Amino acid sequence: MRERIAHYLEERVQILAAISHDLQTPITRMRLRADMADDTPERSKLIQDLSEIERLVQDGIAYARSAHGSGEKQSRIDLSSFIDSIAYDYQDTGKPVQVEGVTAGTVATKPHALRRILTNFIDNALKYGGSAEIALCRPDDGGAVITVYDNGPGVPEDKLDAVMQPFFRLEGSRNRETGGTGLGLAIAQQLAASIGGAVRLCNRPVGGLAAEIVLP
């Protein structure tokens, strides 16, 4: 039974990846045609719709890839320098991302996967809270916990598990500019599993959300 369920889930992910991949060609053709059309309000709306479809397709491919692992090899990184470099990238573009209380130390992980997880957390913090703060904790029993804090509205307690599911969007409208595609946190969770870690979300007592990646 377990093998049948695993095969069924893998088949669904493969279908998602195939559909997402095949959609890229017609989307590209439509964008080229839209770019050559007369500059009208309808053309601008069409280009905006195509951009939303492209983002959904790209997230679908990313989710499928994360479900099967990225194939990236582990390497040992200095966490303090790694977190600082991510924060500097955001600061260079004027984004309010700060680092607080980072403890020195190294960890064996998949750097690209970890960066993707943290940038997802930071992007969400900026989108819903206007700023982001990154902190690193090294528990006595080993490993590391990297937390991204924001000052946004948080997530209803009964929805904290649901927001980790694919295609679940807490924002109820159909506007993807406010609700997103609903795959970001699901991708982060898949990538965390691929590096032997786990993702946790919790509301802060002072308001806002804390998104954690726990590394072994």
Nearest-angstrom CA–CA distance, 134 and 145: 11
- pLDDT tens-place string over residues 41-91: 888 888 888 887 777 777 766 666 665 555 678 899 999 999 999 999 999
Give the full edge-to-edge strand order of the sheet including 97-100.
Answer: 97-100, 132-137, 144-149, 209-215, 198-203
Residue 153 is part of which domain span?
75-215
Which CATH number characterizes residue 9's domain? 1.10.287
Q: Tell whether 120 and 18 lie within a shared domain.
A: no
Angle value at C-alpha 110, between 126 and 2, nearest 5 degrees: 100
- pLDDT tens-place string over residues 163-202: 887 767 665 433 344 445 567 788 888 888 888 899 999 9
Q: Tell whether 114 and 17 lie within a shared domain.
A: no
Total number of domains constituting the chain: 2
- pLDDT tens-place string over residues 153-166: 888 898 888 888 77
Q: Tell whether 119 and 143 lie within a shared domain.
A: yes
